[in-house]
Amino acid sequence: MDKLASLWTFVRRNKYLITILVFGVIIVFLDENSILRRMEYAHEEQALRDEIEKYRNEYEESTRRLGELAVDSGAIERVAREKYLMKKPNEDIYVFEEDIKDR
Read off the pLDDT of residues 16-64 as tens digits, 9 standing for 90 and up: 999 999 998 888 888 788 888 889 999 999 999 999 999 999 999 999 9
Tell me the whole-structure pTM to 2 decimals. 0.54
Question: What is the Cα–Cα distance from 74 to 95, expressed in whole angstroms?
Answer: 21
Spans of all domains in the chain: 1-31, 34-103
pLDDT confidence band for 100 (50 / 70 / 90): low
Please tell me the distance from the alpha carbon of residue 12 to that of residue 80, in angstroms, as a whole number. Answer: 82
Number of H-type helices and E-type strands within the chain: 5, 0
Q: Mean pLDDT across the stretch 54-76?
A: 88
